[in-house]
Structure 1
């Protein structure tokens, strides 16, 4: 039965394939590393009526299905039938919900079947304590850490640092800001041992204060989410994580 379910999941993942339209003259473009859509196109520049999907700004398990220039949030299928927490990740290059180790969302993508690395892409730093830190996945396989400027957050949708990334919004996109030494780590003066704060980018993570001075990154177990209300890890439907970034 498990083999049948895996086949079904693979079918659902393949169903979400997006054929990007080659005619993008009217789409507002970013100085980008590839030609993947970062905003939902309008029908007049997508005459073949193909479905376009764009990456979610911060959640690997979600993406946006485009219609009439607007995106509707979608959730990737579960990986295993008996595990209600682990889901496939959206692969913005292949335009499908893919295995997490292939999707290039939490890990930089590896070599393709021809032994070559894909074009440069950016992913959120999985060890980050705020929404500003990200990793550049270079075309030669190298990785480089970088940090968005104050008041900006990294958006996987836009592949850029933006002021408002909610809903896949790219707004005033900032090209590569370069690596900086500034971070948005919470103020140590407000740190009291045992205090907890939600993570800026990942519902499954949170920050906990130790020794009245250090905010340490923590993970929820078993696919649970951190609840900003109860300050505990709960099932996702109870935690109601909203991924609203803290003010710097």
Structure 2
């Protein structure tokens, strides 16, 4: 559990008793009508109608945004400045272990996983992954570069072993395109398949992709094309052609196996 979440949970014990001790009759509407924050609890507020207050609470995990008395807005903690309103209600019972609260963005449970997180909605966790090289920062509720992460973001050991597919791994440094500019997501021929190809997202994250049936990947133009228009070594990837002297055993470049 993150330091941010632990800090919130430490305050929960006092929050419950304070919410009970703070009698509604003690609250005085600042204006005749509007929505106004509780002075001590950040997810508690009052709706005043004709100078009569009604106690309300934000959904579990959300906090009351008090900047506009004409607006009834509960938002995520990273969007709300609670000021001196340091207490919150207790979490809903029976939540999924991945959700500290029924609503919110929370760290992955694995200690050395910094690029994955959960968006909990009504207590159900939805898993997400940051695109490399970004990491998740729970205090900001989004994916950021490591140098932009807050002090509350998890710190993970760098991955030293490069991912491989069929012996291929993303090359070090930038891959330049035809105009001499670095490519954000360079593509490469597959080591063993004319139909498949490899993409290095952000030049680091290796992924395998495939062309539609009857097409091959042309690494010269980074597109899927029919085999007849593809690279010479892939022209007979699907069949040897009607003029082949070895129609059942030709190589992918249409040549016949040497005897």
- Fold conserved between structures, TM > 0.5: no
The answer to which structure, 1 or 2, has the higher relative contact order (CA under 8 A, 6+ apart) is 1
Larger radius of gyration: 2
Give the TM-score normalised by the residue count of structure 1: 0.30
Give the TM-score normalised by the residue count of structure 2: 0.29
